[in-house]
Amino acid sequence: MQLERLLQHHGFGTRKGCRSMIRNERVAVNGQTCDDPFAEIDTAGLVFTVDGVDWPYAEFATLMLNKPAGYECSRKPKHHAGVLELLPAPLRERDVQPIGRLDEDTTGLLLITDDGQLNHVLSSAKRKVPKLYLATTKHPLDQAQIDQLLSGVLLADEPEPIAAAGAEIVGENLLRLTLTEGKYHQVKRMVAAVGNRVEALHREAVGELTLPPDLKPGEWRWLTAADLQKLGYTK
């Protein structure tokens, strides 16, 4: 792939702007400065550098973010900052978007991509990809509430009861809940349906992919091939 086209694909601007960056010696390929915009670059295992920052070649930008509270999962946020503002500008220019949404006050694992197929696979209700949440409740939990969540609760505007795929008490006011659907405010509504209330909500995992303990709120990292396998996604 020509170097100027490679930079454009990775969100560094127009073809003309990328050409200028290269000619101004702001770009290095595998550690060597390259000032030829039309140089043909082997993308296999490629790491290129722009203004001293390393970027891996990625046909699709797919990453995880530890979402902090106070951010909307929308490209056009209305009331709070948008979660994409936590990403570098080149990634935003690639038209990445969150896979599903977490509420403004919900924290934890959020997947972001410009891969439409991956987005569809993980968002499809038919796939039943499990999502694991840790909910802090207002009132102490009891086994009766757990039994209700597992057997199914009826939510407004839903024709049939909805059951959690998993539910367990991990603290007096701490509930670990697994869902395979992604309905509006589902965790909060289900907990309310059993007579309790969610005070704080954190997503720990999607599929078998868990939030790394060393990824701090507001930080992101690329997904690896092994991560994608944990999501049950291969091409």
The full set of domain ranges for the chain reads 3-56, 62-124+213-230, 131-206
Angle at 207 between CA 116 and CA 166, to 5 degrees: 135
Decide: 182 and 110 in contact? Cβ < 8 Å. Answer: no
pLDDT at position 235, please?
65
137-154 confidence digits (pLDDT tens): 999 999 999 999 999 999
Question: Which residue's structure tokens are 């696979």?
Answer: 121
Supply 20's token pair.
Answer: 């200028």
Domain 62-124+213-230 has CATH 3.30.70.580: yes
For residue range 86-104, list pLDDT tens digits in order.
999 999 999 899 998 899 9
Does the pLDDT at position 184 exceed 90?
no
List pLDDT tens digits, range 190-223: 999 999 999 999 999 999 999 999 999 999 999 9
Alpha carbon distance 187, 205 (integer Å): 14
Domains 62-124+213-230 and 131-206 share a fold: yes
CB-CB contact of 60 with 11 (8 Å): no
**pTM of the full predicted structure?**
0.92
Q: Give the pLDDT confidence of 24-77 residue by residue, as tens digits.
A: 999 999 899 999 999 999 999 999 999 999 999 999 999 999 999 999 998 777
CATH for 3-56 is 3.10.290.10
- Domain covering 131-206 in this structure, CATH number: 3.30.70.1560
Residues catalogued as catalytic: 103
- Indicate if the pLDDT at residue 157 is higher than 70: yes
Reported as a single tens digit per residue, the pLDDT across 116-136 is 999 988 887 778 899 999 999
Q: Are 84 and 220 in contact (CB under 8 A)?
A: no
